[in-house]
Protein backbone atom coordinates (compact mmCIF):
# COMPACT_ATOMS: atom_id res chain seq x y z
CA UNK A 1 0.00 0.00 0.00
CA UNK A 2 1.34 3.42 -0.90
CA UNK A 3 2.15 5.97 1.78
CA UNK A 4 -0.35 8.81 2.14
CA UNK A 5 0.90 12.39 2.47
CA UNK A 6 -1.29 15.36 3.27
CA UNK A 7 -0.77 18.83 1.80
CA UNK A 8 -2.02 22.07 3.27
CA UNK A 9 -2.14 24.44 0.30
CA UNK A 10 -2.23 23.89 -3.44
CA UNK A 11 -0.48 26.94 -4.86
CA UNK A 12 2.01 26.80 -7.71
CA UNK A 13 4.85 25.15 -5.78
CA UNK A 14 2.62 22.82 -3.77
CA UNK A 15 0.70 21.68 -6.85
CA UNK A 16 3.97 20.94 -8.63
CA UNK A 17 5.22 18.85 -5.70
CA UNK A 18 1.89 17.04 -5.38
CA UNK A 19 1.98 16.17 -9.07
CA UNK A 20 5.49 14.77 -8.73
CA UNK A 21 4.70 12.71 -5.63
CA UNK A 22 1.59 11.26 -7.26
CA UNK A 23 3.82 10.19 -10.14
CA UNK A 24 6.16 8.58 -7.60
CA UNK A 25 3.30 6.43 -6.32
CA UNK A 26 2.32 8.30 -3.17
CA UNK A 27 -1.30 8.78 -2.20
CA UNK A 28 -2.05 12.46 -1.53
CA UNK A 29 -4.74 14.26 0.45
CA UNK A 30 -4.93 18.00 -0.11
CA UNK A 31 -6.73 21.00 1.32
CA UNK A 32 -6.71 24.46 -0.23
CA UNK A 33 -8.51 27.67 0.71
CA UNK A 34 -9.84 27.93 -2.86
CA UNK A 35 -11.30 24.45 -3.53
CA UNK A 36 -11.51 24.96 -7.29
CA UNK A 37 -7.71 24.94 -7.54
CA UNK A 38 -7.66 21.34 -6.33
CA UNK A 39 -9.66 20.01 -9.30
CA UNK A 40 -6.63 19.42 -11.60
CA UNK A 41 -4.91 17.54 -8.76
CA UNK A 42 -7.98 15.42 -8.08
CA UNK A 43 -8.00 14.52 -11.77
CA UNK A 44 -4.46 13.20 -11.26
CA UNK A 45 -5.46 11.10 -8.25
CA UNK A 46 -5.31 13.38 -5.20
CA UNK A 47 -8.13 13.39 -2.65
CA UNK A 48 -9.67 16.77 -1.85
CA UNK A 49 -10.33 17.59 1.82
CA UNK A 50 -12.84 20.08 3.23
CA UNK A 51 -10.65 21.42 6.07
CA UNK A 52 -7.00 21.33 7.19
CA UNK A 53 -8.07 19.01 10.00
CA UNK A 54 -9.64 16.58 7.52
CA UNK A 55 -6.42 16.57 5.51
CA UNK A 56 -4.31 15.88 8.61
CA UNK A 57 -6.30 12.92 9.90
CA UNK A 58 -4.89 9.43 9.53
CA UNK A 59 -1.51 10.28 8.01
CA UNK A 60 2.03 10.42 9.40
CA UNK A 61 3.33 13.22 7.16
CA UNK A 62 1.80 16.66 6.57
CA UNK A 63 3.45 19.16 4.21
CA UNK A 64 2.42 22.81 4.34
CA UNK A 65 2.78 25.47 1.64
CA UNK A 66 1.20 28.69 2.89
CA UNK A 67 1.64 32.26 1.66
CA UNK A 68 2.54 33.92 4.97
CA UNK A 69 2.44 33.76 8.77
CA UNK A 70 -1.27 34.50 9.02
CA UNK A 71 -2.21 31.74 6.58
CA UNK A 72 0.09 29.21 8.27
CA UNK A 73 -1.27 30.13 11.70
CA UNK A 74 -4.81 29.56 10.46
CA UNK A 75 -4.19 26.15 8.88
CA UNK A 76 -2.20 24.76 11.81
CA UNK A 77 -3.77 26.45 14.83
CA UNK A 78 -7.12 27.93 13.80
CA UNK A 79 -10.62 26.46 13.85
CA UNK A 80 -10.50 23.16 11.94
CA UNK A 81 -6.70 23.51 12.01
CA UNK A 82 -4.41 20.58 11.34
CA UNK A 83 -2.56 20.44 14.65
CA UNK A 84 -5.50 19.21 16.73
CA UNK A 85 -6.19 16.43 14.22
CA UNK A 86 -2.66 14.99 13.94
CA UNK A 87 -2.07 11.45 15.05
CA UNK A 88 0.78 11.00 17.58
CA UNK A 89 4.29 11.48 16.20
CA UNK A 90 3.29 13.04 12.87
CA UNK A 91 5.94 14.69 10.70
CA UNK A 92 5.00 18.34 10.13
CA UNK A 93 7.10 19.55 7.19
CA UNK A 94 6.68 23.31 6.83
CA UNK A 95 7.77 24.39 3.35
CA UNK A 96 6.24 27.87 3.53
CA UNK A 97 8.46 30.94 3.66
CA UNK A 98 7.53 32.35 7.05
CA UNK A 99 9.03 34.84 9.46
CA UNK A 100 11.80 33.49 11.66
CA UNK A 101 10.01 34.35 14.89
CA UNK A 102 6.82 32.63 13.83
CA UNK A 103 8.70 29.48 12.76
CA UNK A 104 10.18 29.21 16.25
CA UNK A 105 6.77 29.75 17.86
CA UNK A 106 4.91 27.35 15.57
CA UNK A 107 7.54 24.63 15.91
CA UNK A 108 7.37 24.84 19.72
CA UNK A 109 3.61 24.38 19.67
CA UNK A 110 3.73 21.46 17.23
CA UNK A 111 6.56 19.68 19.06
CA UNK A 112 4.95 20.30 22.46
CA UNK A 113 1.95 18.35 21.13
CA UNK A 114 4.20 15.35 20.46
CA UNK A 115 4.99 15.79 16.78
CA UNK A 116 8.14 16.41 14.74
CA UNK A 117 8.59 19.79 13.06
CA UNK A 118 10.83 20.20 10.02
CA UNK A 119 11.75 23.76 9.03
CA UNK A 120 11.92 23.15 5.27
CA UNK A 121 11.45 26.15 2.99
CA UNK A 122 12.28 25.35 -0.62
CA UNK A 123 13.88 26.97 -3.64
CA UNK A 124 13.14 26.41 -7.29
CA UNK A 125 10.44 27.22 -9.80
CA UNK A 126 7.29 25.12 -10.27
CA UNK A 127 8.65 23.36 -13.36
CA UNK A 128 11.71 22.20 -11.42
CA UNK A 129 9.60 21.08 -8.46
CA UNK A 130 7.32 19.08 -10.77
CA UNK A 131 10.43 17.37 -12.13
CA UNK A 132 11.60 16.39 -8.64
CA UNK A 133 14.33 19.03 -8.49
CA UNK A 134 13.22 20.78 -5.32
CA UNK A 135 15.95 22.08 -3.02
CA UNK A 136 15.02 21.84 0.67
CA UNK A 137 16.64 24.29 3.09
CA UNK A 138 16.45 22.47 6.40
CA UNK A 139 16.36 23.48 10.03
CA UNK A 140 15.88 20.40 12.22
CA UNK A 141 17.66 17.99 14.52
CA UNK A 142 19.63 15.29 12.67
CA UNK A 143 17.23 12.68 14.04
CA UNK A 144 14.16 14.55 12.81
CA UNK A 145 15.69 15.04 9.38
CA UNK A 146 16.40 11.32 9.06
CA UNK A 147 12.71 10.64 9.74
CA UNK A 148 11.70 13.05 7.01
CA UNK A 149 14.40 12.17 4.51
CA UNK A 150 12.62 9.26 2.72
CA UNK A 151 9.75 11.53 1.65
CA UNK A 152 11.90 14.56 0.97
CA UNK A 153 14.34 12.55 -1.13
CA UNK A 154 11.43 11.54 -3.36
CA UNK A 155 10.17 15.11 -3.61
CA UNK A 156 13.50 16.79 -4.34
CA UNK A 157 17.08 16.24 -5.37
CA UNK A 158 18.93 18.28 -2.73
CA UNK A 159 18.56 18.54 1.03
CA UNK A 160 20.71 21.22 2.69
CA UNK A 161 20.79 20.91 6.48
CA UNK A 162 21.78 24.27 7.97
CA UNK A 163 21.23 23.36 11.62
CA UNK A 164 18.41 23.51 14.19
CA UNK A 165 14.85 24.67 13.60
CA UNK A 166 14.83 28.20 12.24
CA UNK A 167 18.15 27.98 10.41
CA UNK A 168 16.56 26.88 7.15
CA UNK A 169 14.28 29.90 7.33
CA UNK A 170 17.23 32.22 8.06
CA UNK A 171 18.89 31.18 4.83
CA UNK A 172 15.66 31.24 2.81
CA UNK A 173 14.74 34.76 3.90
CA UNK A 174 18.16 36.17 3.08
CA UNK A 175 18.21 34.22 -0.20
CA UNK A 176 14.89 35.77 -1.21
CA UNK A 177 15.99 39.24 -0.12
CA UNK A 178 19.03 38.83 -2.37
CA UNK A 179 16.62 37.96 -5.18
CA UNK A 180 14.71 41.18 -4.52
CA UNK A 181 17.97 43.14 -4.78
CA UNK A 182 18.91 41.44 -8.06
CA UNK A 183 15.47 41.97 -9.61
CA UNK A 184 15.27 45.62 -8.55
CA UNK A 185 18.73 46.28 -9.98
CA UNK A 186 17.89 44.59 -13.28
CA UNK A 187 14.70 46.67 -13.46
CA UNK A 188 16.85 49.79 -13.17
CA UNK A 189 19.10 48.55 -15.98
CA UNK A 190 16.18 47.82 -18.28
CA UNK A 191 14.29 51.04 -17.46
CA UNK A 192 17.31 53.20 -18.34
CA UNK A 193 18.16 51.10 -21.41
CA UNK A 194 14.62 51.41 -22.76
CA UNK A 195 14.51 55.13 -22.09
CA UNK A 196 17.76 55.48 -24.03
CA UNK A 197 16.31 53.53 -26.96
CA UNK A 198 18.47 50.41 -26.69
CA UNK A 199 17.24 47.25 -28.36
CA UNK A 200 15.54 45.06 -25.74
CA UNK A 201 16.66 41.71 -27.14
CA UNK A 202 20.23 42.95 -27.32
CA UNK A 203 20.07 44.15 -23.72
CA UNK A 204 18.76 40.77 -22.53
CA UNK A 205 21.33 38.79 -24.52
CA UNK A 206 24.22 40.91 -23.31
CA UNK A 207 23.05 40.68 -19.71
CA UNK A 208 22.79 36.88 -20.00
CA UNK A 209 26.41 36.65 -21.17
CA UNK A 210 27.85 39.22 -18.78
CA UNK A 211 29.58 39.06 -15.41
CA UNK A 212 26.54 40.38 -13.50
CA UNK A 213 24.05 37.77 -14.67
CA UNK A 214 21.86 36.15 -12.00
CA UNK A 215 19.12 33.55 -12.03
CA UNK A 216 16.62 36.07 -10.61
CA UNK A 217 17.56 38.57 -13.28
CA UNK A 218 17.27 36.03 -16.08
CA UNK A 219 13.84 34.94 -14.83
CA UNK A 220 12.47 38.48 -14.84
CA UNK A 221 14.23 40.38 -17.61
CA UNK A 222 12.05 38.97 -20.44
CA UNK A 223 8.90 40.31 -18.77
CA UNK A 224 10.55 43.66 -18.09
CA UNK A 225 11.45 44.05 -21.74
CA UNK A 226 8.14 42.79 -23.15
CA UNK A 227 5.95 44.42 -20.52
CA UNK A 228 4.08 41.14 -20.07
CA UNK A 229 3.69 40.57 -16.34
CA UNK A 230 0.46 38.56 -16.55
CA UNK A 231 1.56 35.20 -17.98
CA UNK A 232 3.82 32.38 -16.79
CA UNK A 233 3.92 33.79 -13.26
CA UNK A 234 6.41 31.83 -11.15
CA UNK A 235 6.43 34.22 -8.20
CA UNK A 236 4.40 37.33 -7.57
CA UNK A 237 5.45 40.86 -6.65
CA UNK A 238 3.47 40.65 -3.40
CA UNK A 239 5.14 37.42 -2.29
CA UNK A 240 8.59 38.88 -2.97
CA UNK A 241 7.67 41.95 -0.94
CA UNK A 242 6.44 39.74 1.93
CA UNK A 243 9.61 37.65 2.00
CA UNK A 244 11.85 40.71 1.80
CA UNK A 245 10.05 42.34 4.71
CA UNK A 246 10.39 39.16 6.78
CA UNK A 247 14.12 39.22 5.98
CA UNK A 248 14.45 42.83 7.13
CA UNK A 249 12.64 41.91 10.35
CA UNK A 250 15.10 39.06 10.89
CA UNK A 251 18.10 41.33 10.36
CA UNK A 252 16.61 43.82 12.81
CA UNK A 253 16.32 41.04 15.40
CA UNK A 254 20.06 40.49 14.98
CA UNK A 255 20.79 44.21 15.15
CA UNK A 256 22.06 44.37 11.56
CA UNK A 257 21.14 47.19 9.16
CA UNK A 258 20.57 46.20 5.52
CA UNK A 259 20.50 49.43 3.47
CA UNK A 260 20.62 47.72 0.07
CA UNK A 261 17.97 45.19 1.03
CA UNK A 262 15.83 47.95 2.49
CA UNK A 263 15.97 49.93 -0.76
CA UNK A 264 15.01 46.89 -2.85
CA UNK A 265 12.20 45.99 -0.47
CA UNK A 266 10.85 49.52 -0.79
CA UNK A 267 10.52 49.08 -4.56
CA UNK A 268 8.52 45.87 -4.12
CA UNK A 269 6.38 47.49 -1.44
CA UNK A 270 5.59 50.39 -3.76
CA UNK A 271 4.71 48.01 -6.59
CA UNK A 272 2.40 46.00 -4.34
CA UNK A 273 0.65 49.11 -3.03
CA UNK A 274 0.23 50.29 -6.64
CA UNK A 275 -1.88 47.21 -7.41
CA UNK A 276 0.84 45.09 -9.04
CA UNK A 277 1.04 42.51 -6.25
CA UNK A 278 -0.64 39.65 -8.11
CA UNK A 279 1.54 40.13 -11.20
CA UNK A 280 4.94 38.62 -11.92
CA UNK A 281 7.93 40.19 -10.20
CA UNK A 282 8.97 41.83 -13.44
CA UNK A 283 6.15 44.32 -12.83
CA UNK A 284 8.40 46.29 -10.46
CA UNK A 285 9.86 47.99 -13.53
CA UNK A 286 6.56 49.85 -13.95
CA UNK A 287 7.22 51.68 -10.68
CA UNK A 288 10.50 53.00 -12.06
CA UNK A 289 8.90 54.04 -15.34
CA UNK A 290 6.11 55.92 -13.56
CA UNK A 291 8.47 58.17 -11.72
CA–CA separation, 71 and 69 (whole Å)? 6
Instruction: Please give the pLDDT value at position 289.
Output: 80
The pLDDT, as a whole number, for residue 25 is 95
pLDDT of 13 above 80: yes
Q: Residue 233, Cβ neighbours under 10 Å: how many?
A: 18
Closest C-alpha among 15, 11, 9, 279 to residue 129? 15
Contacts of 240 (CB under 8 A, 6+ apart): 176, 179, 180, 183, 268, 281
Domains recognised in the chain with CATH numbers: 4-164 (3.40.50.720), 170-289 (1.10.1040.10)
Is residue 81 within 8 A of residue 64, CB to CB? The reply is no
Q: What is the pLDDT of residues 216-257, one digit of tens each?
A: 999 999 999 999 999 989 899 999 999 999 999 999 999 999
For 84-95, what is the mean pLDDT?
97
pLDDT of residue 98: 98
The pairing of beta strand 61-64 with beta strand 91-94: parallel
Rounded-to-integer distance, Cα 211 and Cα 227, Å: 25
Cβ–Cβ under 8 Å, residues 18 and 31: no
pLDDT tens, position by position, 23-42: 999 999 999 999 888 999 99
Report the distance separating Cα 107 and Cα 115, nearest Å.
Answer: 9
Distance, in Å, from the CA atom of 268 to the CA atom of 228, rounded to the nearest integer, reads: 17
Instruction: Give dist(CA 159, CA 174) in Å, integer.
Output: 18
Pair 37, 25: CB distance under 8 Å: no
Q: State the average pLDDT over residues 183-200.
A: 97
For the chain, what is the mean pLDDT?
Answer: 96
Let me know: does 239 contact 67? Beta carbons within 8 Å.
yes
Q: What confidence score (pLDDT) does residue 145 get?
A: 98
For 54-86, write each residue's pLDDT tens digit: 999 999 999 999 999 999 999 999 999 999 999
Taking only the tens place, the pLDDT of each residue in 151-181 is 999 999 999 999 999 999 999 999 999 999 9
pLDDT of 1 reads 39
Q: What percent of the chain clears pLDDT 90, i.e. is strictly above it? A: 96
Query: What pLDDT does residue 136 have?
Result: 98
Q: Which residues of 121-151 are buried (b: 16+ CB within 10 A; e: fewer)?
A: bbbbbbebbbebbbebbbbbeeebbebbeeb
Amino acid sequence: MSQTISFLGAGRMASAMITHLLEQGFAVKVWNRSPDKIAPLVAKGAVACATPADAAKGVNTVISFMADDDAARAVWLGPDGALAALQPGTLAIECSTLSHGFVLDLSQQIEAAGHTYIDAPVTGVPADVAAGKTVFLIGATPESLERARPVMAKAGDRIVHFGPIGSGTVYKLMHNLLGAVHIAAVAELVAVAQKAGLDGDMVADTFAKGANVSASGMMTIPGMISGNHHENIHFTTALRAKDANYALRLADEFGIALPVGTAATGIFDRATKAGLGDLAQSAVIDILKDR
